[in-house]
Amino acid sequence: MAVIYDRVALIGLGLIASSMCHAIRRAGLAREIVGYARSAETRATAREIALCDRVTETAAEAVAEADLVVLCVPVGAMEAIAAEIGPHLKPGATLSDVGSVKRAVIDAVAPFVPAGVHFIPAHPLAGTEHSGPRAGFAELFDNRFCILVPVAGSDPAAVARLADLWRGIGSNVDEMDADHHDLVLAVTSHTPHLIAYTMVGVADELRRVTDSEVIKYSAAGFRDFTRIAASDPTMWRDVFLHNKDATLDILGRFTEELFALQRAIRLGDGDHLHAYFTRTRSIRRSIIEAGQDTDEPNFGRSKAKKT
């Protein structure tokens, strides 16, 4: 593919940013990739593995003359970094992000976006339980969705250009309103993660009683909960603090469903349980048919490739 942006600046060098580096290079979509991370250790690691063409000591230096700037930091850090880099963004540049919440990001970042800079929030629906600059791999985004969330007045040409970049690194691209995005993700990602954290926490309490048998005899279902619960705690703390309403709404619905299942089990209502499990099984089949997972053993997952 042809070069889409001359210079891309990635602020934050974790799993998503490092995977973007590899994927952009794979497709030849930028002439230069510049990176910055708050941690000196992360910057040193990025230099050691030659993750970016340049790794800078400040965020302001990283975004200077960049055509695309992508904020790859936890949602709670968006406001501070936007305030820091805002004065250094060049006119005509596009500013985007990869946050799992969109309304809170828009509210935090938009006040610091200078006139003439295109602010186009985004969210790639891809990830693993690994983090850091060594965790990235080019295939992370292949056949996964990236949701663009243009704000009022977004330039259609700038939106189309950013969409081309995400398609170029392997993603399917959709657009959504911020509030709708946050509700959808509360169902598909945020609440499942919260439930996984809770289940692993409950199992840890049980493990103390059963002398480690919960860990020793973990079956696939519990193993999968632990994989999800291994995700970056800072990122998920910020997700729940910044998507409260949608998450609480879906948690309320989940609680109602759980109570109904409890009642069916208590009453021995096998018909209700069978019908419920049949319906939910069909949702799993729909996910496979949509190409978002496979029906291979171990939920179609393989170990994340390391740099």
Residue 302 above 60 pLDDT?
A: no
The closest alpha carbon to 276, from 262, 290, 294, 296, belongs to 262
Mind listing the pLDDT tens digit for each residue in 126-150? Answer: 988 788 999 999 999 999 999 999 9
Residue 4 above 60 pLDDT?
A: yes
The domain locations on the chain are: 5-176, 180-300
pLDDT value of residue 306: 38
pLDDT confidence band for 303 (50 / 70 / 90)? very low
Better pLDDT: 196 or 275: 275
- Distance, CA of 149 to CA of 161 (rounded, Å): 14
Answer yes or no: are the C-beta atoms of 201 and 207 closer than 8 Å: no
CA angle 279, 283, 285 (to 5 degrees): 115
Q: Which fold has domain 5-176?
A: Rossmann fold (3.40.50)
pLDDT confidence band for 57 (50 / 70 / 90)? very high
Quote the percentage of the chain above a pLDDT of 90.
62
Answer yes or no: are the C-beta atoms of 99 and 105 closer than 8 Å: yes
Residue 187 above 90 pLDDT?
A: no
Q: Does 180-300 carry CATH code 1.10.220.10?
A: no
